[in-house]
């Protein structure tokens, strides 16, 4: 068969032979980092004279300017309304949640629709907007150092983040003008960085204690695959809570009862400093100015350890639960890996050593290892490595996903620690004669009662034809993608009435809101909005053309009939013509058409690839694998 209509790619469509620039971002509670893979290693990008750790602090200035990092942190105790830290703890949360109590008292908040906003000179800012400023600063830094546009970013999130917190993080990235390649769980990212050269096959527990979040993941590492067996944690437990423990101790000792925000922030910062110093010295003085006097208390290591002991016991209890979920005994772990700046607190390693009789491993910098793992994964995802050079990461959902049933109870549809991506469905029926609608309430969490879990979304399936109670069959399907994000659909099976929702949890931002904010930010940056949008559409079209053209040349003749082949080739020509033009709508229409037209080809290629995978597992290889497993 002749190669039909496939012309050489035009200059614009030529794929350059240089590696694509992709970055990994650790968006932390206290610090944020950006890293990229270059010269054979994942490197944290750091400007000269800086450590690469950007304080996750944002300050809004009068007149529209925004400061991120050290300058914002320096203004923290003086400019209390406009200087913000630890905003990650607010992500995806409602106001007055228990997890926020210590933080709400140090911020000027306003509550709208149950959601917290920071009141600044530039208006009320949501946690998503504030986080977007940090991500934007990192993006700009990466663009400057790498010299050009970024193909995409892997952004890490605590493994124990729920759907709302993940979605909020993804929204912040979109708002910062970043294309998210994947949301990656922080302990998994750390394991990737360690796995590169430090660890052999085995079972590992990653203990990740950050500024505001705590994660435990147990991974089984094998050749080519890192499989998360179970994960758990507390998305409101971290170094900030150590600071709060010292703060409360200090106020009790000094008899300070009703501190205002500036004083509270000052004590909080003094507490943080004391905590850090206690990793080096036996005792420190905590001191602040109060009512015109210098107030001072001595904090010993011993006293500090007893203050945080209950918090550390909580982490150990969580570790034990996760071991249980993974079906493992502590003795069968090959190593415990320490990640996160708060593991620098000396008693953390001690408590772990006592509980599990194992010396924790911290050969890689606990502050950098997550960003490094994210950079490695970003590099793999943009295709700079062959598949067999990078490990496949198989992760799990941290929290059960369920639906409300009669009497306010939760029926679990996807239990926690299920491997993702995953699709599960459950059938429900009507409970009244003639019922024409069914409301579906999506809930996340381990508790049995709806009010104890996190409400993610509510929607209604309408238009069910009237039937007797129990005759309708409503199938509710839950799908969790590789980012850990949920979408839900419902369908009445006897009639086919259908309803889809992308679960946009009740924390706030609508897709339209994000688009508007993005547009405003472009306008603010005085970029030509329509030009930028056209360019993005063209890039999408080019990507599709390149990928399909390559696939067609490789497998087209073998897997498609002559007719199918020429139809697809013609479609590609049309796409190319559209991409070379300047009509956004035309490009979009062609992209949709080509995507649809390539469905059959895509599925045949997948079938063939799987056949290869299975036949490729020759008996030799299999027995080789088994040998390893049984060792």
Partner 1 sequence: MSNAQLSKNYFELFGFPIDYDVDLLKLHACYKAIQQRVHPDRFSGQPEQQQRLAMQWASAVNDAYHVLKNPLSRSVYLLALKTGDDRFLERVKVSSEFLFEQMELREALAQLHSRAQAVEFEERLVDRVRRQEAGLKKLFQQIKVQSEQGGELESVAQTIQEYRYLSKLLEETQSKLKASE
Please choose, out of 40-48, 116-124, 258-266, 602-610, the segment that lies near partner 1 by the rule CB under 8 A: 602-610
Specify the DSSP element, H or E, that contains 214.
Answer: strand 214-222
Residue of 102, 129, 171, 208 with catalytic role: 208
CA distance 78 to 604: 63
Q: What three-state secondary structure class fits 120?
A: strand
Give 120-124's long-range contacts (Cβ < 8 A, gap of 24+): 120/60, 120/81, 120/82, 120/84, 121/60, 121/61, 121/62, 121/81, 121/82, 122/60, 122/61, 122/64, 122/66, 122/82
Report if residue 588 touches partner 1, rule: CB under 8 A.
no
Distances (CA, A) of 145 to 49, 142, 149, 591: 14, 5, 11, 33
Query: One of 88, 136, 170, 491 is an active-site residue; which one?
Result: 88
Nearest Cα to Cα of residue 125 among 133, 117, 136 = 117
Minimum gap (Å) between residue 629 Cβ and partner 1: 6
Nearest partner of 282 among 297, 302, 265, 267, judged by Cα:
302
Residue of 393, 397, 346 whose CA lies nearest to 373: 393
Binding to partner 1, residues 388-407 (CB under 8 A): 392-394
* 26 is an active site residue: yes
- Helix (H) or strand (E) segment spanning residue 438: strand 438-444
In angstroms, give the least distance from the CB of 605 to partner 1: 8
Dihedrals phi, psi of 16, to nearest 5 degrees: -70, 150
Q: Is position 580 annotated as part of the catalytic site?
A: no
- Report the residue number, 89 or 605, with the smaller CB distance to partner 1: 605
Q: Counting contacts by CB under 8 A, is residue 613 touching partner 1? A: yes
Does 448 participate in binding partner 1 (rule CB under 8 A)?
Answer: no
Q: Which of 67, 102, 151, 186 is catalytic?
A: 186
Strand-strand pairing, 214-222 and 225-234: antiparallel
163 a catalytic residue: no
- Show the binding pattern over residues 451-490: x = contacts partner 1 (CB under 8 A), - = does not: ----------------------------x-xx--------
Of 54 and 378, which has the nearer Cβ to partner 1?
378
Cβ atoms of residues 581 and 544 within 8 Å: no
Torsion of CA 304, 305, 310, 314, to 10 degrees: 120
Question: Applying CB under 8 A, which part among 169-177, 335-343, 365-373, 412-420 lies near partner 1?
Answer: 412-420
C-alpha to C-alpha distance for 576 and 591, rounded to whole angstroms: 10
Query: Residues 339-378 vs partner 1: string with x where CB under 8 A?
Result: ----------------------------------------
Please, what is the minimum distance in Å from the beta carbon of residue 565 to partner 1?
A: 17
Q: Is 102 a catalytic residue?
A: no
Q: Please answer whether residues 208 and 186 qualify as being in contact, where contact means their C-beta atoms are separated by less than 8 angstroms.
A: yes
Cβ proximity to partner 1, 79 vs 483, nearer residue:
483
Taking the complex as a whole, the smallest distance from the CB of residue 374 to partner 1 amounts, in Å, to 13
Per-residue x/- mask for partner 1, residues 56 to 95, rule CB under 8 A?
A: ----------------------------------------
Which parts of 202-231 interact with partner 1 (CB under 8 A)? 222, 224-225
Query: Footprint of partner 1 on residues 418-437 (CB under 8 A)?
Result: 418-424
Assign 22 to helix, strand or coil. Answer: strand
User: Taking the CB of residue 627, how many other CB atoms lie within 10 A of it?
Assistant: 9
- Judged by CB under 8 A, the residue of 383, 466, 470, 581 near partner 1 is 383
HEC-encoded secondary structure of 59-88: EECCCCCEEECHHHHHCCCCCCCCEECCHH
Pairing assessment for the beta strands 58-60 and 83-84 based on DSSP bridges:
antiparallel
Among residues 182, 265, 275, 368, the one that binds partner 1 under rule CB under 8 A: 182
Question: 113, 149, 309, 324: which one contacts partner 1 (CB under 8 A)?
Answer: 324
Q: Residue 566: which of 4, 68, 102 has the closest Cα?
A: 4
CB 254 within 8 A of CB 295: yes
- Residue 96 or 423: the one with the smaller Cβ distance to partner 1 is 423
Q: Is 19 in the site for partner 1 (CB under 8 A)?
A: no
298: contact with partner 1 by CB under 8 A: no
Out of 336, 339, 381, 559, name the contact with partner 1 by CB under 8 A.
381
The residue range among 245-253, 290-298, 310-318, 605-613 that interacts with partner 1, by the rule CB under 8 A, is: 605-613
Contact 497, 458 (CB under 8 A): no
Least Å distance between CB 588 and partner 1? 12
**Between residue 529 and residue 558, which ones bind partner 1 under the rule CB under 8 A?**
543-544, 547-548
Task: Select from 176, 326, 382, 578 the one that contacts partner 1 (CB under 8 A).
Answer: 382
| Active site residues per annotation | 26, 88, 186, 208
Give the footprint of partner 1 on this chain (CB under 8 A).
Answer: 152, 181-182, 222, 224-225, 324, 380-383, 387, 392-394, 418-424, 479, 481-482, 543-544, 547-548, 594-596, 598-600, 602-603, 606-607, 609-610, 612-614, 616-617, 621-622, 625-626, 629-630
């Amino acid at each position: 068969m002749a190669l039909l209509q496939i012309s050489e790619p035009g200059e614009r469509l030529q794929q350059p032979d240089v590696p694509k620039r992709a970055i990994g971002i650790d968006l932390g509670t206290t610090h944020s980092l950006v890293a990229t893979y270059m010269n054979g290693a994942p490197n944290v990008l750091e400007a000269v004279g800086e450590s690469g750790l950007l304080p996750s602090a944002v300050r809004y200035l009068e007149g529209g300017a925004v400061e991120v990092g050290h300058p914002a942190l320096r203004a923290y105790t003086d400019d209390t309304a406009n200087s913000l830290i630890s905003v990650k703890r607010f992500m995806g949360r409602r106001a007055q949640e228990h997890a926020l109590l210590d933080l709400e008292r140090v911020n000027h908040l306003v509550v709208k629709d149950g959601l917290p906003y920071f009141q600044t000179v530039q208006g009320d800012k949501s946690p998503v907007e504030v986080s977007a400023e940090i991500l934007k600063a990192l993006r700009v830094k990466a663009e400057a150092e790498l010299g050009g546009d970024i193909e995409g970013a892997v952004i890490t999130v605590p493994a124990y983040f729920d759907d709302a917190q993940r979605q909020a993080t993804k929204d912040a990235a979109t708002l910062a003008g970043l294309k998210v390649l994947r949301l990656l769980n922080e302990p998994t990212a750390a394991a990737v960085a360690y796995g590169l050269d430090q660890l052999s096959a085995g079972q590992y527990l990653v203990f990740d204690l950050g500024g505001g979040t705590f994660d435990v993941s147990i991974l089984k590492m094998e050749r080519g695959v890192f499989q998360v067996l179970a994960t758990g944690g507390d998305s409101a437990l971290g170094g900030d809570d150590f600071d709060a423990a010292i703060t409360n101790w200090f106020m009790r000792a000094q008899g300070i009862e009703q501190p205002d925000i500036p004083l509270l922030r000052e004590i909080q910062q003094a507490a943080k400093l004391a905590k850090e110093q206690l990793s080096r010295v036996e005792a420190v003085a905590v001191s602040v100015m109060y009512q015109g006097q210098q107030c001072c208390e001595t904090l010993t290591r011993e006293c500090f350890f007893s203050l945080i002991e209950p918090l550390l016991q909580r982490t150990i209890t969580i570790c034990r639960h996760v071991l249980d979920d993974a079906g493992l005994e502590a003795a069968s772990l090959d190593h415990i890996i320490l990640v996160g700046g708060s593991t620098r607190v000396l008693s953390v390693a001690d408590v772990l050593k006592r509980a599990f009789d194992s010396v924790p491993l911290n050969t890689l910098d606990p502050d950098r290892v997550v960003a490094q793992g994210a950079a490695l994964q970003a590099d793999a995802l943009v295709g700079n490595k062959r598949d067999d050079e990078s490990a496949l990461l198989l992760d799990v959902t941290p929290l059960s996903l369920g639906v409300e049933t009669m009497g306010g109870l939760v029926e679990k549809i996807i239990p926690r620690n299920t491997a993702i991506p995953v699709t599960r469905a459950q059938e429900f029926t009507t409970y009244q004669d003639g019922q024409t609608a069914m409301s579906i309430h999506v809930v996340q969490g381990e508790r049995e009662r709806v009010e104890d879990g996190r409400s993610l979304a509510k929607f209604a399936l309408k238009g069910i034809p009237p039937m007797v109670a129990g005759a309708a069959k409503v199938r509710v399907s839950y799908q969790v993608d590789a980012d850990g994000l949920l979408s839900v659909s419902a369908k009445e099976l006897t009639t086919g009435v259908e309803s889809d929702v992308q679960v946009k949890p009740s924390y706030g931002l609508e897709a339209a809101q994000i688009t508007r904010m993005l547009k405003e930010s472009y306008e603010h940056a005085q970029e030509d909005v329509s030009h930028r949008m056209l360019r993005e559409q063209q890039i999408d079209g080019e990507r599709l053309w390149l990928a399909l053209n390559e696939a067609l040349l490789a497998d087209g003749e073998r897997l498609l009939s002559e007719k199918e082949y020429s139809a697809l080739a013609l479609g590609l020509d049309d796409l190319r013509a559209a991409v070379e033009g300047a009509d956004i709508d035309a490009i979009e229409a062609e992209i949709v058409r080509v995507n649809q037209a390539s469905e059959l080809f895509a599925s045949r290629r997948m079938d063939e690839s799987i056949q290869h995978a299975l036949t490729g597992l020759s008996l030799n290889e299999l027995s080789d694998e088994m040998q390893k497993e049984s060792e």
